[in-house]
Each structure stands twice: as structure tokens, then as C-alpha cells.
Structure 1
Amino acid sequence: MFLHRIHLDPRCREARRDLSDPYQLHSTLCRVFSAPDNRCPEGEFLWRLEPETDPAGSPRILVQSKAMPNWAGVGVQGWLANADSAIDLKERLKLESLKVGQRFRFRLRANPCVTYDGKRLGLLQTDEQEAWLERKGKQHGFSLPQLAPFDFSEAPQKRIDVRISQEQMLRGKQHTGNGIRIYSVLYDGILIVTESDNFRTALENGIGHGKVMGLGLLSVIPIA
């Protein structure tokens, strides 16, 4: 499992198109991991558009993949401004020896939602978004530390210590012309491993819906 940090050149027309349409960006990345005219293997990679840019202002994208990419497969000159050396996550995170109680800083762009009457509805309230992440943590082998209460005069309201930002509706257009809309938020915080196998699976496969729109990638940094 490899992690790649790349920057796109906003002067490139195709790069600007991809940055404005997550579905198209996913399609472009598929060409990096599959031969021409071949279907990209399902679950081959996860990706996320980051809030940060490089010093030149080029947008940053994290890509996590099972195989090494062939960036020339994009087929567009100037699309890629630069790419950092790949990181072997199995080695860097010591995935084979994960232990209960380990702490990591994490980032996750995800689609907090509930299914009602066969439709997925985005959760817009902060407490709902936090509760969604707590449920996903229990499902995927991690917990989140509680936020210390500020007011001790009343029964404290339990809140997890997580920062939620960049709430937005992502829009894309499929090759058939059908539109895609999916609500997303960016989570940043600290997590604690509670089940090693489930946590490892979450790192490998992502969390939640909308992976084709750049959601679901759980990226972590160990805390000493």
C-alpha cells in the first residue's frame, strides 16, 4: 500500500477541469493505474484533494494505491506539476504490528449521511456529523477522545475532540451526462486504535460512501 503526494498545475486546462469535477479527476487517475482501454480495478486507489497547496500555489492531492502508478498514463502534458516520492505505508505505519491503544493524528474527507426511504441524506448538524464519525470508529476499530467540558455547572454534554471544516456539496458529471451530488466534510483529529484488524482494513479500503468523488481516504500519522 503506497501513498503519493502530487500537485496539479492550474495553468493546465485539463487540470482545472479535473479540479472542478471530482468524478473527472477520478477518471483521470484511473488512467494511472490501468492500461489504455482497460477498466480500472475496483478499489485500486483512494484519493483526496487537500486544503493545502505547494509554495507555488499548485493544488495538492493525496493518492493511496495498492500498486505503483504510471503518471505518464495521464496522457496530458503539464497536468502534473510535481510528485513526491511514494511512501510505503505498510512499512511506515508498521501495519503488521498495529497495537490496541496506539494513537494517530488523522484526516478524513467523508460523506456523513443516513439512508432514509432508499436515499442517502447528508448530515448537516455538527452533533450529527460527530455521531456519524463515532459510529464509523466503532465499526472500523478506532475511538475518538472526548472533548473536555467547559461548563461544570450542568451535566456535561459529551463531545468528541475533532475539527470539522470544509462542509460542501461536491458536484460531478458522469460520462453519460448524469450529474452526481454528494455532501462532504473534512475531519481532523486524533484517534485511538481499538481493534487492529478492523483498523487496518479501514486504512486499506477507506470509510463511507463517495470514494469515486475523492472521499473515504483515512490518512494517519503516528503519535509518539
Structure 2
Amino acid sequence: MYLSRVILDLSNRASLAVAADAYEAHRFVFAAYVDAKAARPLYRVEAGLGGIAVIAQGLVEPDWERALRLSGARATVESKQIMKPRFDNGTRYRFKLVANAVKTIADAHGKTDGQGKPKSVRVPLIRDDQLRAWLDGQGKKAGFIVERATVEKREPIVARNGRAGNDIRLAATGFNGTIFVSDGDALWDAIGRGFGHGKGFGLGLLSVAPAVEGTV
């Protein structure tokens, strides 16, 4: 797996577009992964002390020179290959995740699909207790137990959809806190897959780092 931090030069117009426009960020990241199916890229755009950066992960080595050339953006790139951590059971990690936390319900108008089956729709979760329950449920499937988590409701991700003529709109929630590993193999697999919907538009990337003893 490869992890990258691409710090955008905001004096450049194309870099500003990547920072501000979900569709341009999508195009920029996927230009670095020629075979996106094999790479299974995940990313998010975040602001930090060093400026606005694209944090990206993929199963194959990205070509950021290609992405910069095609987009016209300018950036400082840090990229490295990482091996699977030990992830011993009970180990405590800090985590960060921005995800599309939703539930699936039957269509309120009784619409059906081409096979006559009831259609389902995704409804964003709103209440903090619902969002925390969603995160706990993800952990059960992904080999971790949430020790502590803060929930931050964010502005939705909106990206234009040229083919359909409609914008793509995805609810986004930020989660930060600490987890305990319960199944290291499952956690590593889940990090590679990502969490929730909207992975192509900057959602679903779980970042973890060892928690320092004595911190919360």
C-alpha cells in the first residue's frame, strides 16, 4: 500500500480548484492512478498547519507527476510505501475518518426496480447517537472497538455529474478519536477497502496512528 500527502500550492489556480471543488479533486487523484480498479484509491482533502493537502492511499504506486501535469496544479508531494502493521489485538490507535454515514430504507413512494422489487434509498444519519452507532457497527465488521470518538457534521460533498446533468450530493461526517484493535487482519483489509459510500469523492479513508500512552 502507498500513502501520499500532496500539499497544494494555493497560489496556483488549478490547485485552488482541487482544494475547493470535489469533482476537480476526484479528477486530480484518479489521474495519479491509471488503473484505478487495481489501485482502489481512497483520499480526502484536509486543511492543516502546512496548508490544504490531499491525503491519498492506493494499492499501487501513484503517478503524481502525471496528475500535476494533466491538471496544471502545483504541489509538494510526499509519498511512501507502507507494509501491513502488526495490529496486535488490544493495541490502541488514534484514528480519523470522514465518511458518508447513511441508512437504507424502502422508497417512501413505493417505487420498484426493473424486476419489480421495492427500491431502496439512502438516508443520511443526523443525530450524534445514530452516527456513533454507525461507527460502532463499522468497527464490529472491521476489527476495531471504538474507545472514544468525536462526531463533526460537515458540509456535504457536492460534485457535478456531467453525464446525468445532476449534481452528486453526499452527506459527510468527520470522526476522530481512539480505537482498540480486535482483529488485525480485518482492520487492515477494511483500511484498504474504505468505509461507507462516496469513496470516489473524498470519503471513506480511515487513517490510524499509534496512540501515545497517557493521551486521550
Please say if 1:45 is aligned against 2:41: yes
Residue of structure 2 aligned with 1:162, choices 144, 149, 154: 149
Which residue identity is paired with 1:103? R
Separation in 1 of the partners of 2:99 and 2:40? 18
Q: Distance in 1 between matches of 2:95 and 2:175?
A: 8
Rounded Cα–Cα distance in structure 2 between residues aligned with 1:171 and 1:5:
23
Q: Which one of 66, 71, 77 corresponds to residue 64 of structure 2?
A: 71
Q: TM-score, normalised by structure 1?
A: 0.81
The RMSD of aligned alpha carbons is: 1.9
Higher percent of residues as strand:
2
1:204 aligns with 2:192: yes
Task: Report the equivalent of 1:112.
Answer: 101
Aligned match for 1:220, one of 203, 208, 211: 208
| 2:179 aligned to which of 182, 191, 207 | 191
State the Cα distance separating 1:98 from its structure 2 match. Answer: 2.5
- DSSP-derived class of the 2:37 partner: coil
- CA deviations 1:71-116 (Å, max 9, x no partner) are 22122576132112x23321xxx43x32211111000000111011
Counterpart of 1:13?
13
TM-score using structure 2 length: 0.84
**1:143 alignment partner in structure 2:** 145
> Is the contact made by 2:46 and 2:52 (CA closer than 8 Å) also made in structure 1?
yes
* Superimposed CA distance per residue, residues 6-57 of structure 1 (whole angstroms, 9 cap, x where no aligned partner): 11122322222232322331122111111xxxx6326521101113241xxx
Q: Which residue of the partner structure matches residue 113 of structure 2?
A: none
Equivalent residue number for residue 153 of structure 1 = none
What percent of counterpart residues are identical? 29
Match of 2:76 among 82, 86, 100: 82
